[in-house]
């Protein structure tokens, strides 16, 4: 049967998203969703838009949404692109701006969708190793390349690179595009959108899935020089004219305007993160400093996959990546205080009572 | 600046969708939207789903929606793919199933997105001419090919090919995929989904944008042999994990289940189409027989672009394609009876009172 498949797709390795199981009373800390609901103003706007006008196509340009984003950053709508989640924007970006003779650079431990896009579009890439502490060093990217993709904060580590360092990267990168994936930036990172005016090769991608609690609505946006945005518009217009539905467009506009709710909930997540990091340390975890809405943590004695399994038996989901260098870490999304407390309680109970066949010191890279 | 663009996108020709202007009291007959609102049951389901769960990602597989579609056709969910409008599904289909050494065949006058996808993915294609009456002849497609894409009914003509003829095409097509784009099938065409069980190279694509009045929500689906669906899933999983948001998934399920409303509104559209066709003929139009929710019509004496402009001045939008062979036609979406009446009145007034510099017989191919 596979004779019918296009030859170019036969060896593709797909991305595997975190589980979305429909189990009641689950404490779901595996896909970095926000523990707080979307802004009530956004929900009201969506309900209001669920009317007879749904028979009509949405605005293919998403002009109102682009204007709101442009206004937030003192830019024009020509600097803004919107898409069906930041994943769709990343896909268009790889094809439109990163397919060159030289390889695209991104960290070896990072969002695992990047190499998948390279496979899809036949783009050469080179994974740049994080250091032993899982940190990004800008000088590693200051070499000839076909583009640089840096998530900041990085995932799944939560580590950040400051704006000064980012500026150094941009100053040293000539003739290729630097994509900064700021999916998690609102939890303590520093956006580089203010650098867009100075660097025509900078594209910044953000999402409403995390800090705006709208993972279920699929909205991302990119900000960059109009020429970069033109390239994204061109590819989008060859792929799907109307990627954002009417409800997503209205919900996004309302969510972005509700700055108070946004500030309140993201600060609460940051406070819970600090509390959770402290508790995990007390339980014998090594926890990477994080400016995201998740923690990346390794227990000094216990195997990560086993811990994940035992948490799952207690209806708590966290994410484990069976990959070199990080297979002893768990990525734990920051929940409500009550969810964080339940996680800590469960871990304390597991660590105190469970027999581990593999209880050996776990502080070496594996 | 364009040095930063990937070389492969520089010559791309994008698709241009019909206008979506925000003008009040417009009679919008230019993009084949349904004149009736979505099912009230679907709107209620969407409003109910606009709740705090929007903080969570949707089901990346859209399992509930696939099950509903499978049940409608006596198939299993493994025969079903869902996407962000049928345009996204077509894009994935061209890449996953139609990129081969031989050219893809589709009608020369057809949905103008097909050649755009070929450009995007570097797929060779060959446009097969419709006959002088703008009809499809199956024998024209019975030759070595890398795939066949047939919209049925065809757009913008509204013409259909019967299931028997489609079967003849499938029997004569070996080793390549036949894609039947049934965007408009619910207005009088005959779906070939019942042939899926017999032909492992048949992929049928439908949308909820037209007959389900949900253009604003972006939902399409494909039905075919599980091996074809696997190819689409693979490409989708390399592009965007969650193309359908939570509201679209819920709205689609509810809309598909409301069979009564669906039957009532599509029959009303078909009845209005027949009335409108009759009136247009009385006004001196040549009207192609249509089984879609639009008519393709040419006035015997008046220039199509001029007529479109004069209608627009009267707040009525219809679509004109400035393309060889069809530049004297207007594509008119079927509206409510009141909208159709307004269109007929406006045309009668225009034809009676307006001075046309170009009033010459208009019955030759141009």
3-state percent breakdown (helix, strand, coil) of chain A, nearest 5: 40, 15, 45
- Strand-pairing partners, residue B81, are B222
- Contact between A230 and A238 (Cβ < 8 Å): no
CA–centroid distance for B171 within its chain: 25
Q: Binning pLDDT at 50, 70 and 90, where does residue A365 land?
A: very low
Q: Look at chain A and report how many structural domains it folds into.
A: 2
- Contact between A155 and A110 (Cβ < 8 Å): yes
pLDDT at residue number A17: 87
Cis peptide before A316 (omega within 30 of 0): no
Residue at a domain's end among B238, B258, B278: B258
Report the alpha-carbon distance of residue A245 to residue A229 in Å, rounded.
Answer: 20
CB contact under 8 A, B4 and A216: no
CB contact under 8 A, B54 and A177: no
Report the SS3 class of residue B69. Answer: helix
Q: Which residues contact B234 (CB under 8 A, 6 or more apart)?
A: A9, A12, A14, B96
Interface contacts (A, B; CB < 8 Å): 272
Q: Are residues B296 and B175 in the same domain?
A: no
pLDDT at residue number A339: 97
Q: Are residues B270 and B226 in the same domain?
A: no
pLDDT cut 70: percent of chain A above it: 96
Residue at a domain's end among B214, B234, B258: B258
Cα distances from B209 to residues A51, A75, A195, B187, in angstroms, run 15, 34, 41, 13
Type and span of the H or E element at B87: helix B85-97
Per-residue pLDDT of chain B (366 residues; tens, 9 = 90+): 589 999 999 999 999 988 888 788 899 999 999 999 999 999 999 999 999 999 999 999 999 999 999 999 999 999 999 999 999 999 999 999 999 999 999 999 999 999 999 999 999 999 999 999 999 999 999 999 999 999 999 999 999 999 999 999 999 998 999 999 999 999 999 999 999 999 999 999 999 999 999 999 999 999 999 999 999 999 999 999 999 999 999 999 999 999 999 999 999 999 999 999 999 999 999 999 999 999 999 999 999 999 999 999 999 999 999 999 999 999 999 999 999 999 999 999 999 987 665 555 555 444
Does residue B358 sit within a domain?
no
CA–centroid distance for B36 within its chain: 17
- Contact between A104 and A125 (Cβ < 8 Å): yes
With beta carbons under 8 A apart, name residues in chain A contacting B245: 216-218, 245, 247-248
Taking the CA of residue B164 and the nearest CA in chain A, the distance in Å comes to 23
Does ipTM come in above 0.85?
A: yes
Question: In this structure, how many other beta carbons lie within 10 angstroms of the beta carbon of residue A255?
Answer: 26
Does residue A366 sit within a domain?
no
Cis peptide before B153 (omega within 30 of 0): yes
Q: Are residues B32 and B56 in the same domain?
A: no
Span A6-10, average pLDDT? 95
Chain B: residue whose CA lies nearest to A121:
B121
Question: In this structure, how many other beta carbons lie within 10 angstroms of the beta carbon of residue B292?
Answer: 32
Does residue A115 sit within a domain?
yes
Report the alpha-carbon distance of residue B246 to residue A209 in Å, rounded.
Answer: 13
Length of chain B equals 366
User: Closest Cα partner for A237 from B366, B116, B194, B334?
Assistant: B116
Determine the residue among A238, A255, A262, A339 to mutate to test chain B binding: the one whose Cβ has the most chain B Cβ atoms within 10 Å.
A238
The pairing of strands B285-287 and B294-299 is: antiparallel
Q: Are residues A253 and A276 in the same domain?
A: no
Does residue B125 sit within a domain?
yes
Q: Are residues B269 and B157 in the same domain?
A: no
CB contact under 8 A, A87 and B240: yes
Q: Are residues A150 and A290 in the same domain?
A: no
pLDDT at residue number B193: 98
Q: Are residues A106 and A146 in the same domain?
A: yes
CATH at residue A198: 3.40.640.10
Does residue A360 sit within a domain?
no
pLDDT at residue number B361: 54
Where do runs of H (alpha helix) occur along A192-289? 226-237, 246-257, 259-282
Span A221-229, average pLDDT? 98
Does residue B217 sit within a domain?
yes
Report the alpha-carbon distance of residue B57 to residue B15 in Å, rounded.
Answer: 30
Q: Are residues B30 and B166 in the same domain?
A: no
Average pLDDT score, chain A = 95
With beta carbons under 8 A apart, name residues in chain A contacting B261: none
CATH at residue B268: 3.90.1150.10
Report the alpha-carbon distance of residue B365 to residue B132 in Å, rounded.
Answer: 8
Q: Are residues B236 and B320 in the same domain?
A: no
Q: At B310, phi and psi to the nearest 5? A: -70, -35
pTM of the model: 0.96
Report the alpha-carbon distance of residue A205 to residue A221 in Å, rounded.
Answer: 6
Length of chain A equals 366
Residue at a domain's end among A237, A258, A279: A258
Where do runs of H (alpha helix) occur along A180-258? 226-237, 246-257
Q: Are residues B280 and B160 in the same domain?
A: no
Is pLDDT at A366 greater than 50 in this prediction? no
Q: Are residues A128 and A139 in the same domain?
A: yes
Q: Which of A13-22, A343-352, B237-246, B275-284 has the lowest mean pLDDT?
A: A13-22
Domain ranges, residue A131: 40-258
- Exposure of A109 in the CB half-sphere (CA atoms within 13 A): 24
Chain B: residue whose CA lies nearest to A31:
B57
Does residue A44 sit within a domain?
yes
Does residue B299 sit within a domain?
yes
Determine the residue among A84, A120, A211 to mutate to test chain B binding: the one whose Cβ has the most chain B Cβ atoms within 10 Å.
A84
Q: Are residues A176 and A61 in the same domain?
A: yes
Place of tokens 């005016």: A197
């Amino acid at each position: 049967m596979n004779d019918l498949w296009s030859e170019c797709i036969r060896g593709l390795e797909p991305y595997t998203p975190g589980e979305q199981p429909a189990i009641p009373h689950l404490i779901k800390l595996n896909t970095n969703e926000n523990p707080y609901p979307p802004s009530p103003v956004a929900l009201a706007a969506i309900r209001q838009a669920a009317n007879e006008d749904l028979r009509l196509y949405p605005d293919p340009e998403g002009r109102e949404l682009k204007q709101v984003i442009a206004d937030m950053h003192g830019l024009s709508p020509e600097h803004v692109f919107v898409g069906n989640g930041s994943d769709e924007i990343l896909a268009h970006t790889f094809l439109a701006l990163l397919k060159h003779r030289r390889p695209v650079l991104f960290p070896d431990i990072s969002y695992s969708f990047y190499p998948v896009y390279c496979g899809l579009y036949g783009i050469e890439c080179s994974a740049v190793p994080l250091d032993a502490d899982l940190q990004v060093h800008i000088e590693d990217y200051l070499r000839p390349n076909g583009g640089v993709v840096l998530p900041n904060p990085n995932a799944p580590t939560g580590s950040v690179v400051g704006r000064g360092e980012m500026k150094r990267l941009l100053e040293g990168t000539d003739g290729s595009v630097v994509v900064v994936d700021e999916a998690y930036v609102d939890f303590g990172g520093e956006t580089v959108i203010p650098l867009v005016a100075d660097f025509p090769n900078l594209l910044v991608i953000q999402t409403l899935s995390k800090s705006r609690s709208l993972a279920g609505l699929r909205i991302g946006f990119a900000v960059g020089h109009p020429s970069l945005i033109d390239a994204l518009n061109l590819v989008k217009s060859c792929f799907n004219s109307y990627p954002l539905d009417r409800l997503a467009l209205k919900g996004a506009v309302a969510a972005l305007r509700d700055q108070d709710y946004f500030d309140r909930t993201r600060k609460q997540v940051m406070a819970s993160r600090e509390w959770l990091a402290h508790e995990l340390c007390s339980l014998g975890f090594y926890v990477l400093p994080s400016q995201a809405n998740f923690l990346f943590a390794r227990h000094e004695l216990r195997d990560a996959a086993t811990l994940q399994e035992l948490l799952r038996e207690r209806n708590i989901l966290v994410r484990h990546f069976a990959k070199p260098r990080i297979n002893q870490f768990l990525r734990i999304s920051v929940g409500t205080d009550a969810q964080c407390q339940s996680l800590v309680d469960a871990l304390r109970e597991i660590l105190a009572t469970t027999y581990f066949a593999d209880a050996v010191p776990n502080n070496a890279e594996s």
